[in-house]
Amino acid sequence: MSISKAIFMGSFILFALIGGVAFVKKQKEKKGLEPAVAKVEGISEEMPTAPERSEAYLKPVQDEVADKTEDQVWRLFTTGRQKLPIVETVRYKSKVSWLQGRPAWVTDYASHFSTSRHFIARSLNGGRDYYTQKVSQGDQFNVLKKEISFYLVVDLSRCKMWFYAHDGETDERYLLKTYQVGLGRFSEESFSGLLTPKGKFSLGDKVAIYKPGMEGYFQEGQVEMVRVFGSRWIPFSEEVSGTGENPRGYGFHGAPWIYDLETESYKEDLSTIGNYQSDGCIRLAQADIEELYAIIITKPTIVEIVSDVHEATPPGKSVGDM
């Protein structure tokens, strides 16, 4: 073998050995790295993701504020010494100085004292009867004083509402009652995070009472109104703070009614109260919406919808918040 050929063969063998050693080393390094990569991937898969905005409203907040209840509404209707100072008791007379030419009836008293006839009926009847208006000479009932207005605070996080009365003459505020309410579904596009808007809204006068069989239009279709709105409807009118959302189409109403085939009668769907299922309106149980309706429809009323009740700014000086 020539010297040149021997040198070539030696160089080839040397490079082959170097390549083989490098390949073996690379394979070992690769095997050593594989567990580390798998471990990193495993950690990455298990890392918690940031919760979506809507998850904050999956369930109403349950705390001391949510659990505390109040009910002083009955003191609006009693004619005894426990009545609230925002009402006055009158004695029925058919002949009154403020109406000439005919006897005065309950509807006349309601108009004269800016108090709904439903309010007067409950005071007369001593119970939640808003329709019977039989009255005799000398019967007593309560009416709202002149300078009274109402203020509702809706807490989106707790599905709860605080009902206040404000005496404009004394600038005193009374907590009348707290209610559990149903609110709108989640909405990423809404400022509030729900279909129920945030802001301060006045309530409108185009109120309605619905009974089984009454039909109307809802979402471009004809429906039996109690199946959507229950027995009462109180609309929002205007946004009064300048910072809230458009109130058009929103309001208070009852829980939807469901027809029970077994009993062949309606019953309200109370599962829609205390959670987030509506298209944006505020739902109350039938007894609650009928009570609210009887009290507020003849007086100026504002509803303030906030994320937390502590953000609300009800007017006047609190009278113990009872």
Is residue 138 a contact partner of residue 156, using CB atoms and an 8 Å limit? Answer: no
Q: What is the pLDDT of residue 21?
A: 39
> How far apart are the C-alpha atoms of 137 and 135, rounded to whole Å?
7
| Residue pointed to by tokens 């709105």 | 229
Distances (CA, A) of 240 to 168, 203, 234: 18, 10, 17
| β-bridge mates for residue 150, sequence order | 165, 301
The answer to whether 109 and 120 are in contact (CB under 8 A) is yes
Region class of 243: left (phi > 0), else alpha (psi between -120 and 50), else beta: alpha
Rounded Cα distance, 188 and 176, in Å? 34
Torsion sign across C-alpha atoms 311, 313, 314, 319: positive
Name the percent of the chain lying above pLDDT 70: 81
Dihedral sign of CA atoms 236, 237, 240, 241 in order: positive
d(CA 295, CA 117): 10
Q: How far is CA 282 from CA 21, 71, 158, in A?
A: 77, 20, 13
CATH 2.40.440.10 domain range(s) in the chain: 54-70+147-318
Whole-number pLDDT of residue 190: 86
Instruction: Check residue 219 and give its pLDDT.
Output: 83
Q: What is the pLDDT of residue 245?
A: 82
Tens digit of each residue's pLDDT (9 = 90 or more) over 219-273: 888 999 999 999 999 999 999 988 778 899 999 999 999 999 999 999 999 999 9
Query: How many residues appear in the chain?
Result: 322
Alpha helices in 153-231 (DSSP H): 226-229
pLDDT value for 273: 98
Which pLDDT value is given to residue 12? 39
How far, in Å, CA of 251 to CA of 296, rounded? 13
In terms of Cβ atoms closer than 10 Å to its own Cβ (0-12, 13-18, 19+), residue 101 is exposed
Q: What is 234-289 written as a DSSP string?
A: EEEEEE-SSSS---TT-EEEEPPEEEETTTTEEEE-GGGTTSEEESSPEEE-HHHH
**How far is 206 from 61, CA to CA, in rounded Å?**
33
Reduced to 3 states (helix: H, G, I; strand: E, B; else coil), residue 217 is strand
Residues 41-84: tens digit of each pLDDT: 333 333 344 445 554 547 999 999 999 999 999 999 999 999 99
Categorize the per-residue pLDDT at 191 as very low, low, confident or very high, splitting at 50, 70 and 90: confident
Q: How confident is the model at residue 35 (pLDDT cuts 50, 70, 90)?
A: very low
Q: What CATH class has 54-70+147-318?
A: mainly beta
Q: What per-residue confidence (pLDDT) applies to 92?
A: 98
Query: Other CB atoms closer than 10 Å to residue 307's CB: what's the count?
Result: 16
pLDDT of 162 over the 60 cut: yes
pLDDT > 90: percent of the chain? 75
Cβ–Cβ < 8 Å for 149, 301: yes
